């Protein structure tokens, strides 16, 4: 009986050993190539005036500004992008393809100041890309406000704390006014490089957002709600980017500079994604 058990055991080892050896000798499957993402932070070229602090921009459709934007596009082409993602809400939530881009013609660059045209569509057209995505997130009618500043304002006004907000907002207002002057004599490549930098004095940190946390008490926390909404909007934007990204992609994301902090955060902290700094491509060293 003992011999039979030994024999059976030996047979089992003989049968399974090759499988185990084969499994051990098989090379591990290669990890998918990372998705490389470049965040291009932009001030709004067409002066929509929808932000708390707005930069006033001279027309970017002049020959000089168009030449500067051509240089911006040529710099970004060195990244060899495979897709472009823009600050627009997609009509088709399944594909998330930008519904405006198919009708784009280069002649529109002389009539449409919007940075989605001037940077995003220009770059995609030069590279012959068909993958241009609209990944912005906005509330549906009656839905959650992702930036409920009115509630914050009502709270600090009711408590006569306007001066505190003015102090908090002063650096941002001063920067917007300064940029409105600088854009008259600095190139768009220089300004976009600054807006895309992780060291940007305003969009490179959360000072003003986190400063709003003090506007609240035990009963109401409008500053906290604004921070939560801003985080949520950017998290959903990044989720949409993940939905369209493919292994090995090199995606240029063109968004308002204020989104830069959180979008960079998500790229840097999500496995399978790699941040590529835009600054060397926008304003290369001489």
Establish if 213 belongs to a structural domain.
yes
Average pLDDT over all residues of the chain: 89
Domain with 271, as residue range(s), is 35-282
C-alpha gyration radius of the chain = 25
Residue 26 has pLDDT above 60, yes or no: no
pLDDT at 217 over 80: yes
Cβ atoms 30, 251 nearer than 8 A: no
Does residue 2 carry a pLDDT above 80?
A: no
What's the pTM value of the predicted model, to 2 decimals? 0.87
Residue 191 placed within a domain? yes
Question: Which string of b and e fits 17-33 if b means at least 16 CB within 10 Å?
Answer: eeeeeeeeeeeeeeeee
First to last CA, the chain: 85
Q: Is residue 30 part of a domain?
A: no
Q: What is the pLDDT of residues 140-199, one digit of tens each?
A: 888 889 999 999 999 999 999 999 999 999 999 999 899 889 989 999 999 999 999 999
Average pLDDT over residues 243-271: 97
Mean pLDDT lowest among 15-29, 49-63, 193-207: 15-29
Predicted pLDDT at 276 = 98
Mean pLDDT to the nearest integer, 208-220: 97
Residue with tokens 């929808």: 50
- Give domain status of residue 70, yes or no: yes
Decide if 2 is inside a domain.
no
Question: What's the total number of domains in the chain?
Answer: 1
| 273 belongs to a structural domain | yes
Q: What is the pLDDT of residue 171?
A: 92
- Residues constituting the chain: 286
Give tens-digit pLDDT for 95-119. Answer: 999 999 999 999 999 999 999 999 9
Could you tell me which of 169, 130, 146 has the C-alpha nearest to residue 233? 146
Residue pair 260/195 in contact by the 8 Å Cβ criterion: yes
258 part of a folded domain? yes
């Amino acid at each position: 009986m003992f011999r039979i058990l030994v024999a059976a055991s030996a047979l089992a080892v003989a049968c399974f050993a090759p499988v185990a050896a084969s499994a051990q000798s098989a090379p591990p499957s290669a990890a998918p190539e990372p998705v490389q993402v470049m965040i291009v932070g932009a001030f709004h070229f067409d002066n929509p005036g929808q932000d708390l602090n707005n930069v006033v921009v001279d027309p970017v459709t002049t020959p000089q500004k168009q030449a500067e934007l051509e240089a911006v596009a040529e710099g970004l082409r060195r990244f060899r992008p495979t897709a472009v993602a823009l600050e627009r809400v997609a009509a088709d939530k399944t594909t998330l393809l930008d519904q405006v881009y198919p009708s784009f013609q280069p002649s529109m660059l002389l009539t449409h100041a919007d940075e989605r045209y001037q940077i995003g569509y220009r770059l995609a057209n030069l590279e012959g890309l068909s993958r241009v995505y609209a990944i912005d997130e906005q509330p549906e009618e009656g839905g959650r406000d992702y930036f409920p500043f009115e509630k914050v304002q009502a709270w600090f006004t009711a408590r006569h704390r306007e001066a505190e907000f003015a102090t908090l907002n002063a650096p941002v207002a001063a920067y917007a006014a300064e940029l409105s002057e600088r854009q008259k004599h600095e190139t768009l490549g220089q300004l976009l490089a600054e807006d895309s930098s992780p060291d940007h004095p305003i969009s490179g940190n959360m000072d003003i957002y986190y400063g709003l946390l003090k506007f609240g008490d035990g009963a109401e926390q409008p500053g906290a709600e604004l921070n939560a909404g801003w985080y949520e909007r950017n998290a959903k934007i990044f989720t949409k980017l993940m939905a369209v990204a493919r292994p090995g992609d090199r995606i240029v994301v063109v968004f308002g500079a204020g989104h830069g902090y959180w979008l960079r955060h998500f790229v840097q902290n999500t496995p399978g994604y790699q941040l590529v700094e835009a600054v060397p491509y926008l304003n290369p060293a001489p």
